[in-house]
């Protein structure tokens, strides 16, 4: 039996896939076969349901000391387009977004050289006070590691203060590729792979849910991709705290890696499918339409994705890197896109409680 046939039998029998299986899947050129395998696993977990939410993104500042080579969003403090939002600006944006019925605000930002930790806590408290029913999903492990560094508090103490001020879950960013080699070359000035995993573990053990991501399509090797998936899977075995895994498509424009090309549709769909097949213990695989574009996100529903993220009012980070997708879409656009693919749109909250399901 050839390797793919053996993998197919394993998938049918719900047998966990190995590192070698993962590498064989990543090298597979039969994209429709891959899609079939991943879609079957997805169907077993969630039937034809596809989740989305109504959310808004706030990026408090684009000033960042890390200046990762893949990032087009960050600026130095002295750049003319550097910004830092104050509390009033954040509230103003949220008031505008709340008319669209948002249930979640997603807050991630640069690592600002001088903003004190109290700045972030003040923003959280103000948001919590004015929008008590909006779920605050905020701060990646990279930011939490930085807060710990600038305050001298432990990661657990930082998390406790963030939770007390309003944080209810963590996004999954900052993972990039969990490889020391990649991080040394592309983002040596921020939390490393071990730190990212350790902070997620601490958060999960405190009862916080989070997502996990991979930023793919730059200098990573196939082996580094599979090792990343295995590291996330191992942690999930221990904590069960990851709700969704989100493959993030690298956008090279305006970055220090602008000589590279963006992953093709084939590569994007393959990553979605391989993530679904390798991460047998993570319930949701998200096609993050801001990065894939709406068309590939819709196709990804046939490649194992069961979540299409949200309405994402005002996305800035990927658009700084040349994303051609919209900056936000309406709920109707999202549900229509899901329906057209023959799936059932389900509005969820951040913790995947069903808010509204089509029949």
Give the interface with ligand SF4 as residue ranges (CB under 6 A): 64, 66-68, 71, 73-74, 110-111, 142, 187, 190
Strand order across the 104-107 sheet:
55-58, 104-107, 135-138, 169-170, 209-216, 242-249, 284-285
What span, in angstroms and rounded, lies between the C-alpha atoms of 125 and 140? Answer: 18
> Buried (b) or exposed (e) across 41-55, using 16+ Cβ within 10 A?
bbeeebeebbbbbbb
Task: Write the CA distances from 242 to 57, 194, 200, 212, 235, integer angstroms.
Answer: 20, 17, 9, 6, 9
- Give whichever of 64 and 329 is closer to ligand SF4, judged by the CB atom: 64
In the complex, least distance from residue 44 CB atom to ligand SF4, rounded to whole angstroms = 35
DSSP states of 239-257 as a string?
H--EEEEEEEEP--TTSTT
In the complex, least distance from residue 149 CB atom to ligand SF4, rounded to whole angstroms = 13
- Give whichever of 189 and 330 is closer to ligand SF4, judged by the CB atom: 189
- Give whichever of 75 and 204 is closer to ligand SF4, judged by the CB atom: 75
- Give whichever of 37 and 148 is closer to ligand SF4, judged by the CB atom: 148
Instruction: Judge whether 87 and 60 are in contact, CB under 8 Å.
Output: no
- Give whichever of 77 and 280 is closer to ligand SF4, judged by the CB atom: 77
Tokens of 16: 């966990």
Give SS3 for 181.
helix
In the complex, least distance from residue 171 CB atom to ligand SF4, rounded to whole angstroms = 12
DSSP-assigned letter for residue 28? -
- Give whichever of 7 and 142 is closer to ligand SF4, judged by the CB atom: 142
Give SS3 for 222.
helix
Q: How far is CA 177 from the centre of its chain?
A: 13
Q: CA end-to-end span of the chain, whole Å?
A: 42
In the complex, least distance from residue 256 CB atom to ligand SF4, rounded to whole angstroms = 10
In the complex, least distance from residue 177 CB atom to ligand SF4, rounded to whole angstroms = 13
- Give whichever of 11 and 177 is closer to ligand SF4, judged by the CB atom: 177
In the complex, least distance from residue 90 CB atom to ligand SF4, rounded to whole angstroms = 17
In the complex, least distance from residue 43 CB atom to ligand SF4, rounded to whole angstroms = 35
């Amino acid at each position: 039996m050839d390797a793919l046939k053996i993998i197919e039998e394993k998938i049918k029998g719900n047998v966990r896939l190995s590192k070698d299986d993962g590498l064989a899947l990543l090298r597979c050129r039969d994209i429709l076969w891959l899609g079939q395998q991943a879609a079957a696993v997805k169907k077993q977990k969630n039937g034809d349901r596809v989740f989305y939410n109504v959310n808004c993104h706030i990026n408090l500042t684009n000033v960042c000391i890390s200046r990762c080579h893949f990032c087009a969003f960050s600026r130095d403090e002295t750049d003319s387009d550097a910004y830092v939002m104050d509390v009033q600006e954040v509230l103003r944006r949220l008031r505008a977004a709340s008319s669209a019925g948002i249930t979640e605000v997603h807050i991630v930002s640069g690592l600002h050289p001088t903003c004190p930790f109290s700045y972030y806590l003040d923003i959280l408290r103000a948001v919590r006070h004015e929008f008590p029913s909006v779920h605050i999903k905020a701060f990646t492990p990279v930011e939490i590691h930085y807060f710990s560094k600038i305050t001298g508090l432990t990661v657990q103490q930082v998390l406790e203060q963030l939770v007390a001020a309003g944080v209810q879950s963590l996004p999954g960013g900052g993972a990039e590729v969990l490889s020391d080699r990649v991080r040394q070359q592309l983002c040596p000035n921020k939390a490393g792979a071990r730190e990212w995993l350790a902070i997620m573990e601490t958060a999960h053990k405190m009862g916080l849910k989070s997502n996990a991501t991979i930023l793919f399509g730059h200098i990573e090797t196939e082996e580094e991709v599979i090792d990343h998936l295995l590291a996330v899977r191992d942690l999930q075995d221990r904590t069960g705290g990851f709700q969704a895994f989100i493959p993030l498509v690298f956008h090279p424009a305006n970055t220090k890696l602008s000589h590279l090309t963006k992953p093709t549709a084939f590569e994007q769909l393959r990553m979605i499918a391989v993530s679904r097949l390798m991460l047998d213990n993570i319930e949701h695989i998200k096609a993050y339409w801001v990065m894939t574009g709406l068309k590939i996100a819709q196709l990804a529903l046939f490649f194992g994705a069961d979540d299409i993220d949200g309405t994402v009012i005002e996305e800035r980070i990927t658009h700084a890197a040349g994303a051609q997708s919209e900056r936000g879409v309406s709920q109707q656009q999202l549900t229509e896109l899901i329906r057209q693919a023959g799936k059932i749109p389900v509005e969820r909250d951040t913790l995947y409680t069903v808010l509204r399901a089509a029949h």
